[in-house]
């Protein structure tokens, strides 16, 4: 029996009316388990109207009361962690422990948003002029929207709506049509936490819903995370329609390995960060750059048996390192890149293409693959693969290695492994990448810092969460106030006031 999912508008589940649906698979079995309704422009509009209707009252709540709803929401998500993690794994395919990590990283932004009374505080200057005080305040934008990818169906919606709603905005979330059940459940929990109906709405859909968001005159800002082509499209069209847009895109994250690094630790880190979640992470390490030929030989010698030994299994198998990919289509795309890598002349050290999971032959599984002698001129190096594939690009020295991530079209994350503080410091300072790890393979910044890549990994100027997130979802108003002493008039002035 294939379940039919809904939208969540004004605090209620709403059946889709378009007659169009997207398939939600069970990636372990390959079966369709649910159908996502794909919204029309009118359905999106209904959610915007619900959000616009809820805005005045929500905005009028004092920030402490909004924070209390966030505290309640956090407690409810924690209480329902197991259910949410199973729901997430069943649609995405990542292993249960990793789904809990996905939810937890989202909750950490909710924790950050619980501090909104402090974060919204403005600035004040007493006596900026005689009897004149100046103060500034942060105010929410109104109705804002989030468009999210399949690979973090809990974390990324929470990154966006946690900060936006705490600031006093009301929200329309358009999740990935591939795994929308967790965002829908989060909206239910937000209501249960005391969030008024209409403050958090979920509209399922595809390009039609996204285009409706881009055009809707009442949506003031759009936060997008997904692939670069769509990020660029959302940024160009959203800003052309006068909206504030932050649009995060794809990635190719390099790990530079210096000859003095602790190689046992490096191999562990590359295996975890390269193959965890089947490589379907925007901060996955997809390129390892050993410095010197000798280190390259040793690294590949040590990586090979570890990649061959990866335990690929169903998401509920506690022994699994990673599970199936999200869809058959995506698995075929990743396989296509492995075929391409072979044709381009890279050396396929471990070939995961023929992996079959016994009893789950129709699941979207793929074994781990390892390429050596990949070069920057290869298409498989230049593009994002987003699968369980690690590419080794050998560099003769530090300078050559350090230039690779800087020259790459993407600039999301990068890591350097070394014991040399001077090299690490220089690298962190000069590399043209937004998030840098020093002996840390996945340098996803914590909730109270801020997340964002550079170059074609992100369009727009303001990052996700942390103080930047608050800045994105608010606008500043500055008030200059004078309380004249009774009876004193200054007369008309035709000159711009200055502080001379
Ligand atoms: P995607 O671009 O296919 O989809 C993202 C969103 O855009 C979804 O909600 C989808 O419905 C919508 N969409 C898809 N096609 C569209 C179209 N033609 N017009 C308008 N909207 C469209 O991305 P995905 O496959 O869901 O996610 C994987 C990608 O996201 C990878 O490239 C990954 O690197 C990236 N990602 C980036 C970050 C980051 O912070 N930089 C984080 C997570 C994922």
Q: What is the CATH number of the domain that holds 62?
A: 3.40.605.10
Give me ligand 1 centre to Cα 136, in Å: 36
Tens place of pLDDT per residue across the chain (500 aa) = 799 999 999 999 999 999 999 999 999 999 999 999 999 999 999 999 999 999 999 999 999 999 999 999 999 999 999 999 999 999 999 999 999 999 999 999 999 999 999 999 999 999 998 889 999 999 999 999 999 999 999 999 999 999 999 999 999 999 999 999 999 999 999 999 999 999 999 999 999 999 999 999 999 999 999 999 999 999 999 999 999 999 999 999 999 999 999 999 999 999 999 999 999 999 999 999 999 999 999 999 999 999 999 999 999 999 999 999 999 999 999 999 999 999 999 999 999 999 999 999 999 999 999 999 999 999 999 999 999 999 999 999 999 999 999 999 999 999 999 999 999 999 999 999 999 999 999 899 999 999 999 999 999 999 999 999 999 999 999 999 998 877 667 788 888 888 77
Of residues 285, 228, 310, 318, the one with CA closest to residue 444 = 285
Protein residue closest via CA to atom 15 of ligand 1: 207
Q: Are 421 and 464 members of one domain? A: no
121 lies in the same domain as 269: no
CA of 149 to the centre of ligand 1 (A): 4
CA of 355 to the centre of ligand 1 (A): 27
Q: Measured from the CA of 229, which atom of ligand 1 is nearest?
A: 2
The answer to whether 147 and 120 have CB atoms below 8 angstroms apart is no
Q: Closest Cα to residue 321, out of 392, 359, 268, 252?
A: 268
Q: Are 284 and 433 found together in one domain?
A: yes
Q: Tell me the C-alpha distance between 432 and 454, whole Å.
A: 7
For residues 267 and 209, membership in a common domain is answered with no
Environment class of 207 (CB within 10 Å of its CB; exposed 0-12, middle 13-18, buried 19+): exposed
List residues with catalytic annotation: 282
Per the domain annotation, does 500 fall within a domain? no
- Residue with the smallest CA separation from ligand 1 atom 43 is 282
Domain boundary among 438, 465, 486: 438
Note whether 179 and 217 are same-domain residues.
Answer: yes
Residue 123 lies in a domain: yes
Note whether 227 and 357 are same-domain residues: no
Kindly state whether residue 448 falls inside one of the protein's structural domains: no
409: domain range? 253-438
- Distance between CA atoms of residues 218 and 46, nearest Å: 12
Gap between the Cα atoms of 104 and 277, Å rounded: 15
pTM, to two decimals: 0.97
* Residue 150 Cα: closest atom of ligand 1: 26
Ligand 1 pocket list (CB less than 6 A): 147-152, 174, 176-177, 206-207, 210, 225-227, 230, 248-251, 282, 384, 386, 412, 453, 457
How far apart are the CA of 249 and the centre of ligand 1, in A? 7
* Atom number, ligand 1, closest to the C-alpha of residue 205: 11
- Within 8 A by CB and 6+ apart from 207, the residues are none
């Amino acid at each position: 029996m294939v379940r039919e999912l809904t939208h969540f508008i004004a605090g209620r589940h709403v059946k889709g009316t378009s007659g169009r649906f997207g398939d939600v698979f069970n990636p372990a079995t390959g079966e369709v388990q649910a159908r996502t309704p794909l919204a029309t422009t009118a359905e999106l509009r209904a959610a915007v109207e619900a959000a616009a209707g809820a805005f005045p009252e929500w905005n009028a709540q004092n920030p402490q009361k909004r924070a209390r709803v966030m505290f309640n929401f956090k407690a409810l998500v924690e209480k329902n962690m197991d259910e949410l993690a199973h729901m997430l794994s069943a649609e995405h395919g990542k292993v249960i422990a990793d789904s809990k990590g996905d939810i937890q990283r989202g909750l950490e932004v909710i924790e950050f948003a619980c501090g909104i009374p402090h974060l919204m505080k403005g600035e004040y200057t007493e006596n900026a002029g005689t009897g004149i005080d100046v103060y500034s305040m942060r105010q929410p934008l109104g109705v804002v929207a989030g468009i999210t990818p399949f690979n973090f169906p809990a974390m990324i919606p929470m990154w966006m709506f946690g900060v936006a709603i705490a600031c006093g905005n009301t929200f329309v979330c358009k999740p990935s049509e591939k795994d929308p059940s967790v965002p829908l459940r989060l909206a239910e929990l937000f209501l249960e936490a005391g969030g008024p109906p209409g403050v958090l709405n979920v509209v399922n859909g595809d390009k039609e819903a996204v285009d409706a968001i881009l055009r809707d005159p009442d949506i003031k800002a759009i936060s997008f995370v997904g692939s670069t082509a769509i990020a660029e499209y959302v940024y160009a069209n959203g800003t052309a329609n006068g909206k504030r847009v932050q649009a995060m895109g794809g990635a190719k994250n390099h790990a530079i390995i210096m000859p003095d690094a602790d190689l046992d630790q490096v191999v562990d880190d590359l295996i975890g960060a390269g193959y965890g979640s089947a490589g379907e992470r925007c901060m996955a390490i997809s390129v390892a750059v050993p410095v010197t030929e000798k280190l390259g030989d040793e690294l590949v010698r040590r990586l090979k048996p570890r990649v061959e030994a990866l335990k690929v299994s169903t998401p509920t198998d506690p022994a699994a390192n990673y599970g199936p990919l999200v869809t058959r289509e995506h698995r075929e795309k990743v396989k296509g890149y492995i075929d391409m890598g072979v044709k381009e002349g890279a050396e396929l050290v471990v070939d995961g293409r023929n992996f079959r999971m016994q009893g789950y032959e129709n699941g979207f599984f793929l074994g781990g693959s390892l390429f050596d002698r990949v070069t920057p001129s290869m298409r498989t190096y230049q593009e994002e693969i987003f699968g369980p594939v690690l590419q080794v690009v050998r560099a003769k020295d530090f300078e050559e290695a350090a230039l690779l991530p800087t020259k790459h079209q993407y600039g999301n994350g990068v890591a350097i492994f070394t014991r040399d503080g001077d090299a690490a410091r220089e690298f962190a300072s000069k590399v043209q990448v937004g998030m840098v790890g020093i002996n840390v393979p996945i340098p996803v910044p914590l909730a109270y810092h801020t997340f964002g890549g550079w170059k074609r990994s992100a369009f727009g100027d303001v990052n996700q969460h942390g103080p930047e997130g608050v800045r994105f979802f608010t606008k500043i108003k500055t008030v200059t106030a004078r309380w004249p002493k009774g009876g004193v008039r200054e007369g008309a002035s035709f000159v711009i006031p200055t502080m001379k």
